[in-house]
A = this chain, B = another copy of it.
Amino acid sequence: MKLADNILDTPEQIPQRNGYGDGVVEAGDANENIVVLCCDLTESTRSAKFEAKYPERFIEVGIAEQNMAGISAGLAFSGKVPYMSSYATFSPGRNWDQIRVSICYSMANVKIMGAHAGISVGPDGATHQALEDIAITRVLPNLNVIVPCDYWETKKAAIQMAGIEEPFYMRFGRENVPVVTTEDTPYKIGKADTYRDGGDVTVIACGSLVYEALVAAENLSSEGIDVRVINSHTIKPIDETAIVTAGKETGAIVTAEEHQVHGGLGSAVAEVLSLHHPVPIEYVAIMDRFGESGEPNQLMKKFGLSSEGIIKAVKKVLKRK
């Protein structure tokens, strides 16, 4: 699969949220039923770009995430395709019940955009670091859950989901992150992508950890360890085939995500493998604690959400193989 050039030495850096901002405008160009809602965070979620171009299709809801979810459902029932945006801590955090009933149970064609996800939000501290959002959305029937790895993937997902008449949750980060893919890299919701082949062990990652997994794999290859890297951008429906094949072919798995160890991508992978081909798994994740203030890179290091953390986990899981 074609990835960006030079990503391991001098990757381009763009925030994922820009991908949402650009993607929803492009989706909106093609479909005039697309409307965007926001809860007083229009600039930082990057909904501002859509607002600037289509002010009459932008709805400012104020700081009322519960209401935003219901309004979005109502708009969807009247034929609109709402993208509702806020920080991932507050939506789906504060409006989980509304997402459950008004959106998921009713199959409302609403796209939930969770910005500033993960610990990399940094200085704002624990309250603003969404580390549970994958777990609380993945458990909801009818909801698709997407965790893109970079700018391009966020953009492509934002555009692609407009064409699927189902509820979606997508989380993305605030900070600059390496651009792993290119404009032309194929992307399909529901299909995990193998970015690097390998036979000893598989790292299944999502979000910003995909890049770290590639770096880890490169480093490990110099030690003679042959690492497969899978970008599991769609958490739900999870790509069972890719996971089971990896389990069978490499016999050991590491999962990596900017999320709690319980209930997220790792948990989804464990469920799948336990059903089809149980193998040892190690988890690179937040170990059941709240985050804290700090610079994004300091925190990623401190919590082991880094290529070093992945390398350690790979070595550990290989011992258990």
Which A positions have Cβ atoms within 8 angstroms of B?
89-90, 93-94, 96-97, 100-101, 104-105, 126-127, 132, 135-136, 138-142, 236, 260-264, 266-268, 270-271, 273-275, 278-283, 288-290
Contacts and interface: CB of A to CB of B under 8 A. Distances in A.
- How many copies of this chain? 2
A278 B281 contact: yes
A280 B278 contact: yes
B275 A283 contact: yes
A139 B262 contact: yes
Q: Is the interface of A mostly helix, strand, loop or mixed?
A: mixed
A136 B280 contact: no
Given A266-B271, A274-B278, 5 more contacts: A135-B263, A139-B263, A141-B288, A270-B274, A274-B279
A275 B278 CA distance: 11
A264 B104 CA distance: 19
Contacts of A260: 139, 141
A104 B127 CA distance: 11
Which of A105, A140, A268 lies at the interface centre, i.e. has the most chain B CB atoms within 10 A of its CB?
Answer: A140
Contacts of A270: 267, 270-271, 273-274
* Candidate in A104, A136, A236, A266 with the most chain B CB atoms within 10 angstroms: A136
Nearest 6 pairs between A and B by C-beta? A278-B278, A274-B281, A135-B139, A94-B97, A270-B270, A93-B97
A319 to B, nearest CB: 13
Counting chain B CB atoms within 10 Å of each CB, which of A94, A275, A280 scores highest? A275
A136 B136 contact: yes
